[in-house]
Amino acid sequence: MHHFHYSGNRLYCEGVAVESLIRKYGTPLYVYSQRTLTERYQALAQALAGVDSLICFAVKSNSNLAVLRALADLGSGFDIVSGGELERVIAAGGDPRRCAFAGVGKTESEIEFALRRGIYTFNAESEPELERINRVAARLKRRAPVAVRVNPNVEARTHKKITTGTYENKFGIAFEQIEGVYARAARLKHLWLRGLQMHIGSQITEVAPFEQAVRKVRPLVARLKERHGLEFFSIGGGLGIVYQPALASGPAAWWRSSAARGMITPQQYAARLQPLLQPLGLKILLEPGRFISGNAGLLVTRIEYVKRTGRKNFLIVDAAMNDLIRPAFYEAYHEIVPVRRRAGAQIRADVVGPICESGDFFCQDRPLPKAEAGDYLALLSAGAYASVMASNYNTRSLAAEVMVKGRQAALVRARQPVKAIWAGEQIAPWQR
Ligand SMILES: *Cc1c(COP(=O)(O)O)cnc(C)c1O
């Protein structure tokens, strides 16, 4: 569920009219709903109440400090993929002891920093990495908590750029090799074999691939627990979301309609997985990113020009692929709605940004309400893998971000001043 809706003809985030945010903060503007983040987290936590679990929000999906703080206040842990993300979590008031460090390329200094901060686990992706973690831990005279990421080789049936659990990609260690890896790792004196981890992909819309992976890995994790005294099993993230969300419905109706459209719900996810996980007697970690943050944000943009060529209509807006790259990168769909609804005809149009790339579009040939220059549009479900992937391409400033809670709104990221873009650059001495 989420808390964006129309009241009359005006789009609201919780109790705040999006138009009032535009007047105050300008566009392009990311708007987040704290209530949506909260309810999403709680829906998952409640569904999984039958197992001892820790939800580690995937920071890479949305790392704004205010988003992290909202989740930290609920007791969330964090799935991090860099030393920078760990610093962010700490800056936001999150607990390092609830952090799981993922990723194939952890550097020595990242490992040292995370070890000193006392993170919950390093989720290692190769034997050289285990050896490196062992070396750093030895130097610091500590034992490093580790899990190995198993690649279960199951098909997640999602977009190829976000499939991670098959032998075609760089992630994890092959299922067949895992026991040998744990046996060798057990001889590394500065490692504490704390868990086993997997993550099969992202935007997975049905329970079946998760169930298949858990069924396959369950006997393995039980054996490893027996042999090495593991404490947890992380089943990763990847729960999908609706990218064409209805703009009004209560939580119960929302999950019913999601289920009716074949979209995974926390209730189904828990109902199918909990019975498989309970008998293991392990702490279960989850690493949801998109599921928590995806529907909790939107990107507001202003129509600068309406351009009609011989064959097409273009709405040229002030946001671009540097602000939201998902359509260009993943062929992703984002619902686009007017900030102020008007009666009138529809047109088919491409919504495009000002960047000099033909890939700079948010939709193509889509039926949209007729609009004029000066109108505002909102791209929905822009809370995950959206602002975090923004760049300064074309020397465009990073957009401002606002958090809403009830009737309150606060700027949680100032619009980047254009000079800040080249602040770290300088002319070479011989050019002066
Ligand atoms: C990206 C990632 C996640 C989060 O994925 P979502 O699809 O956003 O839930 C979780 N775990 C790992 C290891 C990841 O790389």
Ligand 1 atom nearest 204 alpha carbon: 7
User: Domains of the chain, with CATH numbers?
Assistant: 34-289 (3.20.20.10), 296-421 (2.40.37.10)
Q: In a mutational test of the pocket of ligand 1, which residue from 157, 199, 388 has the highest number of ligand atoms less than 8 Å from its CB?
A: 199
CA of 237 to the centre of ligand 1 (A): 5
HEC string of the chain equals: CCCEEEECCEEEECCEEHHHHHHHHCCCEEEEEHHHHHHHHHHHHHHCCCCCEEEEEEHHHCCCHHHHHHHHCCCCEEEECCHHHHHHHHHCCCCHHHEEECCCCCCHHHHHHHHHCCCCEEEECCHHHHHHHHHHHHHCCCCEEEEEEEECCCCCCCCHHHECCCCCCCCCEEHHHHHHHHHHHCCCCCEEEEEEECCCECCECCCHHHHHHHHHHHHHHHHHHHHHCCCEEECCCCECCCCCCCCCCCHHHHHHHHHHCCCCCHHHHHHHHHHHHHHHCCEEEECCCHHHHHHHEEEEEEEEEEEECCCCEEEEECCCCCCCCHHHHHCCCCCEEECECCCCCEEEEEEECCCCCCCCEEEEEEEEECCCCCCEEEECCCCCCCHHHCCCHHHCCCCEEEEEECCEEEEEECCCCHHHHCCCCCCCHHHC
Options 13, 56, 99, 356, the catalytic residue: 356
CA of 115 to the centre of ligand 1 (A): 22
**CB hemisphere CA count around 115 (13 angstroms):** 25
pLDDT in tens, 329-338: 989 999 999 9
In the prediction, which pLDDT does 93 show? 98
Ligand 1 atom nearest 164 alpha carbon: 15
Q: In a mutational test of the pocket of ligand 1, which residue from 44, 122, 163, 202 has the highest number of ligand atoms less than 8 Å from its CB?
A: 202
Ligand 1 neighbours, Cβ below 6 Å, are 58, 60-61, 79, 102, 199, 202, 236-239, 287-291, 384
Ligand 1 atom nearest 289 alpha carbon: 8
CA of 379 to the centre of ligand 1 (A): 22
In the prediction, which pLDDT does 10 show? 96
Class of residue 287 by CB neighbours under 10 A (exposed 0-12, middle 13-18, buried 19+): buried
Q: How far apart are CA 237 and CA 181, in angstroms?
A: 24
Per DSSP bridges, beta strands 99-101 and 77-80 are parallel
Tokens of 239: 């729960």
Ligand 1 atom nearest 197 alpha carbon: 13
Q: In a mutational test of the pocket of ligand 1, which residue from 54, 55, 60, 80 has the highest number of ligand atoms less than 8 Å from its CB?
A: 60
Region label for 97, one of left (φ > 0), alpha (ψ between -120 and 50) or beta (otherwise): alpha
Which residues have a Cβ under 8 Å from the Cβ of 259 and sit 6 or more positions away? 265, 268
CA of 74 to the centre of ligand 1 (A): 20
In the prediction, which pLDDT does 113 show? 98
356 classed as catalytic:
yes
pLDDT in tens, 247-290: 866 777 788 888 888 889 999 999 999 999 999 999 999 999 99
**Positions in the chain short of pLDDT 50:** none
CA of 144 to the centre of ligand 1 (A): 22
Residue with tokens 């401002």: 400
